Chain A
Amino acid sequence: MNIKDSKYIIPDSTPELELGPDWLKERRRSARHNFNEQPLPHRGIHLWRYTDPNDLIAFTHKAIDDVVDYNIPNEARKNGVIVTSLTKAIESHLELVEPHLYQLVNSESGKLEAENSTLWRNGTFVYVPNKVTISDPIHLTHHIGKDTSSVFPRTLVVVGKQSEITLIDEYEGGPETEENGHAHINGAIEIVGMEASNTRYISLQRLSHATRMYQTHRARTDKSATMLTIPLAFGGSLTKQNFGVLLDGAEAESRIYGLLFGSGHQHFDNHTLHHHAHGETNSDIDIKVVLKDKAVSAYTGLIRIEQETRNCEAYQTNRNLLLNPGTRAETIPELEILNENVSCSHGATIGSIDPLDIFFLNSRGIPTPEAVRMIVTGFFASTLKQVPEDLRERINVFVAERLEGV
């Protein structure tokens, strides 16, 4: 491949470079510069060992809008919660946007993040004022069109002090077959959880099997804030998602409880990062993977605890259930722990369903397909306990659909 190929260069004439106020245009131009000058990520480094970055660079830099539906509970509107496009928020609430935009995911984060930082168009902004508790979820649905396209979603979420929300961030759609090319998504998500806030962020990816997705999520949790991140992935032909939380104040807490179910020839590559930048913080990760047909999954999980950040607790588990031979799962825990005053553990399992479990359920009259469905649903149960009930029911339907013919 030729690095000077147009695929790897965002031209100066790109219309997105003219979007927004001057400071934003400047940020876009500098992001474009970073994209054009940076080499592709090196396949030797852990993050890119399992996926070719060539497959994730947009084939066209002609971006289209990210079509997003907002479902906002009434209590959220009444309490001053803002859900709108980033471009509108920059016009109407610049003071709320400017301190946070590009703080966590920007053109320094990597070549693909530079691509998003240049080319995002409308974006999404969610703002929750201080001391607001919204019990029903705010639900964003990103609709990807049936035609081949490049979309660069960028989402900024700011949760005020002592506030509490659930945000569902759903991605659906895309071409049904790759006959006329695939849809391409490169997304960036920035979430700020201010002091003593409580944020539950649920990412639901159920794109078509002709859609490729790259996504970098970074959240910051301040003092005494909690962040629960729940990545749920079912779709896409090639999905590389990177979920990371910066624990940035004493007693900040982050949990990432994810699940994915791959089938056909789907390829998943997930990374998580827990960065303990402050002492007295704790984190927990539990990623569950089920694969059937020829699906593959790679998971790398990094826990980083700084030298001066003491009394941290960090746990990480990755479990992989392979439903048939021909599937493949990789799991790589990575610990960068620079002091000894921590409590830390990690564990990983890769295996198939125990035939004895199937026999036990059979011996109670339950046919094998139903037994498999029970075991897989059971495997996911502790994760799905963390999501609202109607979403849990939808997920169980997706799981049952995936298991047809097993």
Chain B
Amino acid sequence: MSHNNALLDFENVHVKVEDKEIVKGVSLTIHPGEVHAIMGKNGSGKSSLSNALAGHPAYEVSSGTAFLDGKNLLKMSADERSRAGLFLAFQYPVVIPGVTVANFMRTALKAHRGQDADMSDFRKLFRAEMKELGVSPDFATRYLNDGFSGGEKKRIEILQMAMLKPKIAILDETDSGLDIDALKKVAEGINRFHSDQTGILMVTHYQRLLDYVKPDFVHVMIGGRLVKSGGPELALKLEDRGYEWVEAEMSQGSGK
């Protein structure tokens, strides 16, 4: 069942990778205007959840339900999910040799708008977004992520999000590999994108990005489960004290 007016709503989602269960029953509802953060250590299953929601073929949702703006997400292919309004910013964006950023972006936008759509505004839109993100115009003719630094790759991910205007954006470790200036630019881009019509799910190990993109809800993921939820103060506590105290709470059976 989908909650009324939820943008992303999933319940009891289990994810398997090569027959091994990594995500063990996770539920979350994101309404328009909300920013959620899932925090957890490496290997907690948070990236697997992100990939599975975006339709990565190696991540199988073995049970559970997931709805995107009321539509059954799990019945859609990865490209359909994108066109329906889901965006995943990759932790490790892939390199596509020989395909320029501009060509890639135009093709993606055209796929979103429909094959017969008018694309005459593309160049203007693209240049404006590049400028906002502080991306040099010569990136337009460079091959996608080919030889880009970590920070450049992440900015280009945010550029894609800004151009495609998804309803819900999942940002998988978008802060990793960024210096403080790049982090600020990326955060600005996320904040500019976010409105009362959109939802954001940030998946991160560290509190860093949350200083700039303020979450409404923070969830802690341990061992493939969301074990604790709270407000922004929870992220600060995790930053300060690490994850051990949550684990300790769990082992005492008072995790929820």
Query: Are A360 and B93 CB-contacts (below 8 A) given A355-B57, A355-B58, A365-B83?
Result: yes
Measured between alpha carbons, how far is A361 from B144 in the docked complex, in Å? 11
Residues from 60 to 117 in B contacting A, C-beta threshold 8 Å: 77-79, 81-83, 87-88, 90, 93-94, 96-99, 103-104, 107-108, 111-112
- 8 A-B pairs within 8 Å (CB atoms) are namely A354-B94, A356-B94, A364-B79, A370-B107, A370-B111, A379-B98, A381-B143, A382-B98
Residues of chain A with a CB closer than 8 A to B87's CB: 363
**Complex partner residue of A374 from B104, B160, B164, CB under 8 angstroms:** B104
- Assess the B107–A380 pair: CB atoms within 8 A: no
Flag whether B54 is at the interface (Cβ < 8 A).
yes
Residues from 355 to 375 in A contacting B, C-beta threshold 8 Å: 355-357, 359-368, 370-371, 374-375
**Complex partner residue of A360 from B94, B97, B107, B111, CB under 8 angstroms:** B94
Residues of chain B with a CB closer than 8 A to A365's CB: 79, 82-83, 108, 111-112, 164
Interface size range on B against A: 20 to 34
- Assess the A375–B55 pair: CB atoms within 8 A: no
- Assess the B97–A363 pair: CB atoms within 8 A: no
- Assess the B98–A380 pair: CB atoms within 8 A: yes
Measured between alpha carbons, how far is A364 from B77 in the docked complex, in Å? 12
Measured between alpha carbons, how far is A361 from B99 in the docked complex, in Å? 11
Flag whether B3 is at the interface (Cβ < 8 A).
no
Residues of chain A with a CB closer than 8 A to B99's CB: 374-375, 377-378, 381
Flag whether B123 is at the interface (Cβ < 8 A).
no
Most A Cβ at <10 Å: residue of B79, B96, B160: B79
- Assess the B96–A366 pair: CB atoms within 8 A: no
- Assess the A364–B98 pair: CB atoms within 8 A: no
- Assess the B108–A366 pair: CB atoms within 8 A: yes
A-B pair count, CB < 8 Å, reads 82
Interface size range on A against B: 20 to 34
Residues of chain A with a CB closer than 8 A to B108's CB: 361, 364-366
- Assess the B97–A378 pair: CB atoms within 8 A: yes
**Complex partner residue of B107 from A356, A357, A363, A374, CB under 8 angstroms:** A374
Measured between alpha carbons, how far is A375 from B78 in the docked complex, in Å? 17
**Complex partner residue of B55 from A356, A363, A380, A382, CB under 8 angstroms:** A363
Measured between alpha carbons, how far is A359 from B51 in the docked complex, in Å? 10
Q: How far is the CB of A219 from chain B (nearest CB, A)?
A: 27
Question: Which residues does B use to contact A, with CB under 8 Å?
Answer: 54-58, 77-79, 81-83, 87-88, 90, 93-94, 96-99, 103-104, 107-108, 111-112, 143, 160, 164
- Assess the B98–A377 pair: CB atoms within 8 A: yes
- Assess the A381–B82 pair: CB atoms within 8 A: no
Output the nearest chain B residue to A379 by Cβ-Cβ distance: B98
**Complex partner residue of A375 from B56, B77, B93, B96, CB under 8 angstroms:** B96
Residues of chain A with a CB closer than 8 A to B94's CB: 354, 356-357, 360
Residues of chain A with a CB closer than 8 A to B112's CB: 365
Residues of chain B with a CB closer than 8 A to A379's CB: 97-98
Measured between alpha carbons, how far is A359 from B53 in the docked complex, in Å? 12
Residues of chain B with a CB closer than 8 A to A360's CB: 90, 93-94, 96
Query: Are A362 and B82 CB-contacts (below 8 A) given A375-B96, A378-B97, A381-B99?
Result: yes
- Assess the A361–B164 pair: CB atoms within 8 A: no
Query: Are A378 and B143 CB-contacts (below 8 A) given A360-B94, A364-B108, A365-B112?
Result: yes
Measured between alpha carbons, how far is A377 from B81 in the docked complex, in Å? 25
Q: How far is the CB of B24 from chain A (nearest CB, A)?
A: 23
Q: How far is the CB of B137 from chain A (nearest CB, A)?
A: 20
**Complex partner residue of A361 from B88, B96, B98, CB under 8 angstroms:** B96
Q: What does the 1/0 interface line of A372-393 toward B look like (CB < 8 Å)?
A: 0011011111100000000000
Q: How far is the CB of B168 from chain A (nearest CB, A)?
A: 13
- Assess the B57–A359 pair: CB atoms within 8 A: yes
For the complex of A and B, list the 5 residue pairs with the smallest distance between their C-beta atoms, beginning with the closest: A378-B98, A381-B98, A362-B78, A365-B82, A364-B108
Q: How far is the CB of B193 from chain A (nearest CB, A)?
A: 15
Most B Cβ at <10 Å: residue of A354, A367, A368, A382: A367
Q: How far is the CB of B6 from chain A (nearest CB, A)?
A: 21
Residues of chain B with a CB closer than 8 A to A357's CB: 94, 96
Query: Are A374 and B96 CB-contacts (below 8 A) given A362-B77, A364-B108, A365-B108?
Result: yes
Residues of chain A with a CB closer than 8 A to B56's CB: 359
Query: Are A366 and B79 CB-contacts (below 8 A) given A360-B90, A374-B104, A374-B107?
Result: yes
Residues of chain B with a CB closer than 8 A to A381's CB: 97-99, 143
Q: What does the 1/0 interface line of A321-362 toward B look like (CB < 8 Å)?
A: 000000000000000000000000000000000111101111
Output the nearest chain A residue to B105 by Cβ-Cβ distance: A364
Q: How far is the CB of B112 from chain A (nearest CB, A)?
A: 5
Measured between alpha carbons, how far is A375 from B90 in the docked complex, in Å? 19
Query: Are A363 and B82 CB-contacts (below 8 A) given A355-B57, A374-B107?
Result: yes
- Assess the A367–B58 pair: CB atoms within 8 A: no
Q: How far is the CB of A77 from chain B (nearest CB, A)?
A: 36
